[in-house]
Amino acid sequence: MRDDESPRSVMNLASQRGDNATHRRSRQNNFDILRFLAALAVIVSHAFPIAYGSTVKQPLEEFSNDQTELGSIAVLVFFAISGYLITQSYVRNPDPIRYLKARIFRIIPGLIVVIVSSVLVGSLITTFSPADYFFHRETVLYTIINLSLTGTRFELPGVFTNNPIGPIFNGSLWSLSPEFKLYICVLFLGIIGYLNRFTVIAVWAAAVLFYLFIQESRQALLLATFMGGAIIYLWHDRIAWKQSYAMISLLVLLISLSTSLFNVLFTIIGSYATIYLAISTRTCFSWVTARGDLSYGMYIYAWPVQQMVVLYLGDAATWYSVLLTSLPVILVLAWFSWNYVELTAIRFSQRQISDPLERSSTRSR
pLDDT tens digits for 103-123? 999 999 999 999 999 999 999
Quick one: which H or E segment has residue 120? helix 96-125
Largest CA distance in the chain: 66
User: Residue 70: what pLDDT?
Assistant: 96
What percent of the chain stands above pLDDT 90?
81
C-beta neighbour count of 93 within 10 angstroms: 15
C-beta neighbour count of 79 within 10 angstroms: 30
Reply yes or no on whether the pLDDT at 171 is more than 60.
yes
User: Residue 12: what pLDDT?
Assistant: 42
C-beta neighbour count of 9 within 10 angstroms: 12
User: Residue 323: what pLDDT?
Assistant: 97
First-to-last C-alpha distance (Å) of the chain: 25
Q: Is 314 exposed, middle or buried (0-12, 13-18, 19+ CB in 10 A)?
A: exposed
Enumerate residues 6+ apart whose C-beta is below 8 A from 55: none
Q: Is 199 exposed, middle or buried (0-12, 13-18, 19+ CB in 10 A)?
A: middle
Length of the chain in terms of residues written: 365
User: Residue 267: what pLDDT?
Assistant: 97
Distance CA 84, CA 100 (A): 17
The DSSP letter of residue 127 is S
Distance CA 259, CA 66 (A): 10
User: Residue 52: what pLDDT?
Assistant: 96
pTM of the model: 0.88
Reply yes or no on whether the pLDDT at 229 is more than 70.
yes
Distance CA 163, CA 315 (A): 10
- Would you place residue 280 in the very low, low, confident or very high pLDDT band (cuts 50, 70, 90)? confident
Q: Between 271 and 358, whose confidence is greater?
A: 271
Reply yes or no on whether the pLDDT at 96 is more than 70.
yes
Q: Which of 25-34, 188-197, 208-217, 343-352 has the lowest mean pLDDT?
A: 25-34
pLDDT tens by residue, 44-89: 999 999 999 999 999 999 999 899 999 999 999 999 999 999 999 9
User: Residue 189: what pLDDT?
Assistant: 97
- What does the angle CA 288 – CA 93 – CA 196 come to, to the nearest 5 degrees? 100
Reply yes or no on whether the pLDDT at 319 is more than 90.
yes
| Helices 319-337 and 96-125, packing angle to 10 deg | 130
Q: Which of 27-31, 60-64, 96-100, 262-266 has the lowest mean pLDDT?
A: 27-31
Radius of gyration of the chain (CA): 20
pLDDT tens by residue, 9-40: 344 433 433 333 333 444 578 999 999 999 99
